[in-house]
Chain A
Amino acid sequence: MRIAHILGAAALALGLAAGPAAADSPSPSPSQSGSAPTLAGTSFRTATEIEQGQRATASGATGDYMYWSFPADAGQRPTVHATVRLPRSHAAQTWQIDVYDGLRRRQACQYGAQTRTAAAGAASVDLACVLRTVRAWSEPWANDPLPGTYYIRLTAVGLTDADLGLPVDAEVRVDAKDIGGAAAVDGSLARPLVPGIAASSRTDGTDEKDASASSAVLSAVEPDGGWSSGWWSDRWVWTAVGGVLAALAGVGGYALTRGSGRPSRVPPGA
């Protein structure tokens, strides 16, 4: 009875812990800022910054290289969706999304239709890329995704010359699944992998006038609520609950060897 009570309390605590994680999992809700970007950048330098859950649109021409950037934090598994509405008449075209991290290293898609060929005359093409889970830390020699800026490049990789320059409309959206403690690793980056962060943090350090006088920054993306410090994961709860359960089991094991109540040999009232 007692054990059941304590277990119940522990389960409650676990539930509390799972609470915020569960709230995070369907990725941040569509951003409150009413105006979603309607332009796409043309290079890493000019990439349009979008937020997770935001539907960004852009009109361009076949053959354009369209760039967007978004923030991804540790423990998230971002998924990039893109839809391209093609002109009324065209030959077969192959479209592709590539995702690059803050160091401009190409990041692999685990699955999803990263490249897809639209048949001649098709109205639209849908692309998707599910990235690997973003880790809080990795060795410098590894290509693991790290917290920071991510770039999306959307372009036609295969097209006939006659289709070059025709108007297309593109739409991208980034969602992220929270993988939680299963992906929690030791170590952390001092600064997220945001290009130009050395320059922008330098102006942060000095007085306000300097910061306002400084020109544009390479990337200013930041997740809702800032970058996580990386020390929290549900592993704390699992381990703590494990410790509690171990202690209880220890008490139980101890009690088992003592029998119930007083030793039978001792006469009552002794």
Chain B
Amino acid sequence: MITRQRLAAGVCALLAALAAGIAVPAPAVAGETDGEAAPKVELVLDVSGSMRTRDIDGGSRMAAAKQAFNEVLDATPKEVELGIRTLGATYRGNDRQEGCKDTQRLYPVGPLDRTEAKTAVATLTPTGWTPIGPALLKAADDLGGGSGTRRIVLISDGEDTCQPLDPCEVAREIAAKGIGLTIDTLGLVPDAKTRDQLSCIADATGGTYTSVRHKDELSDRVGQLVDRTADPVVTPVATEGAGTCAQAPVLKSGLYTDRVAFGQQRWYRVDVRPGQELRASASVAADRAVNPGYGLLLRAVTLHGREIVRGEAAGTGRTDAVSTGLRYPKPERDGDDENDGDDAQAATETVCLQVTHSFSAAPGVKTTPGLPLELTVDVVSGPDPAHDVAAFGLGRGWWLLGVLVVAGFLAGVLWGWLSRWRIAVWRTN
């Protein structure tokens, strides 16, 4: 009796210990730290004649822009290097050639001197043309090199008056040239044409378009965009995929960017050792008007052309990007105990990654350069594969308890009968 009680107590203690379940915390992920390169932002302000129009909260568009700039300059984070460029600020004439060159650097990109910058903004008077395209090209030059985030904030109230240079295509080319440069656009009381053009510029670089009708909207939004520049983000590494796996660049863990033209396929290679897992994801952004109905295929293929695993995505309607991913855990080799250098080298598998997309450009949209592709590659240690559907083959639920009880009972009865029979046999002998 006492023994049984002790046993029961022991079982209870064991169960309680199991129930407490001490989970082993996973190692912490490295925290965010500030980058080595300062984030840069350039505000590009339209100072064309139409900015005189008094339709923003009773004041002129220019007054609203000036007030917004003052507020933004006060709130700019310390680490952000800010510059200001104007377009259409000086040339009053009617010569289009001259008017379309009219873009000045009002305040150079660099550590911000608030007073100086504010004084410069105060001198502006609405004057000339609206050369958006040339201004964007110059602004991209102003932002120059560096590995930090780069952003252009374009504030305009009218469409570009300097055709045939389409600012939308200019933006796309800037995006194709530089890495991590985003153009956000703000339209001041825009008409339909202005809106289309500004939203096209924003889409081309993965930026945002905002239509502004009130003073506070303008300063809030510009402030938000400048703040966003200060957020540390990973800068992707430019790479160029090849047409075949044999010529493909070898990628290590990291974030990459490339361009994929319509109807083109891109190949990359990744080395995976036994016991490691390859994780890759690809996003192709729609940076121009595309037809509804699109897809993306990411395949992991062996050097001999056998497909290991694929990631597929398809969609329809308005989108910024379509993305998919795959994982490929390479199993440990049997009896792979010794860490022989040559052996490990031989066991390393080269996995080819193929990216194809099925976007199609809308009618009348240029198909060059290709669409921006973002590729993340992570090679991590491999997973523990499952041996059973349930966790450790354990059961759960009332059916399990019922089955165990019935089985236990039957076993007890059988054992009892057996021992009775044995005793009976022993007695009779």
Do the two shown chains form a genuine complex with each other? Answer: yes
Residues of A within 8 A of B (CB): 2, 5-6, 9-10, 12-14, 16-17, 19-20, 39, 42-46, 59-61, 63-65, 100-106, 136-137, 140-141, 155-159, 161-162, 164-167, 181-182, 184-204, 211-218, 220, 222, 225-258
Query: Does any Cβ of A come within 8 Å of B381's Cβ?
Result: yes
Residues of A within 8 A of B412 (CB): 249-257
Main secondary structure, interface of A, reads mixed
Range for the number of chain B residues in contact with chain A:
35 or more
* Segment of B43-51, B52-60, B242-250, B388-396 engaged in the interface with chain A: B388-396
Residues of B within 8 A of A12 (CB): 12
Q: How far is the CB of B223 from chain A (nearest CB, A)?
A: 11
Residues of B within 8 A of A162 (CB): 192
CB nearest to A232 among chain B residues: B21
Tell me whether A232 and B323 are in contact (CB under 8 A): no
Tell me whether B391 and A185 are in contact (CB under 8 A): yes
CB nearest to A199 among chain B residues: B253
The residue that A13 contacts in the complex, of B1, B16, B198, B208, with Cβ under 8 A, is B16
**What does the 1/0 interface line of B102-115 toward A look like (CB < 8 Å)?**
00000000000000
Tell me whether B30 and A217 are in contact (CB under 8 A): yes
Tell me whether A105 and B311 are in contact (CB under 8 A): yes
- Which B residues, 102 to 139, have Cβ-Cβ distances below 8 Å to chain A? none
Q: How far is the CB of A180 from chain B (nearest CB, A)?
A: 9
CB nearest to B21 among chain A residues: A232
Residues of B within 8 A of A106 (CB): 313, 315, 323-324
Query: Does any Cβ of A come within 8 Å of B385's Cβ?
Result: yes
Q: How far is the CB of A96 from chain B (nearest CB, A)?
A: 9
Tell me whether B415 and A39 are in contact (CB under 8 A): no
Complex Cα–Cα for A60 and B217 (A): 10
CB nearest to B11 among chain A residues: A244
Tell me whether A235 and B391 are in contact (CB under 8 A): yes
Residues of A within 8 A of B30 (CB): 200-201, 203-204, 211, 214, 217, 220
Tell me whether A217 and B387 are in contact (CB under 8 A): no
Tell me whether B277 and A190 are in contact (CB under 8 A): yes
Supply 8 A–B pairs (Cβ within 8 Å), ascending by A: A39-B227, A44-B374, A188-B383, A189-B383, A217-B234, A245-B401, A246-B404, A257-B413
Residues of A within 8 A of B329 (CB): 140
* Segment of B31-39, B159-167, B169-177 engaged in the interface with chain A: B31-39
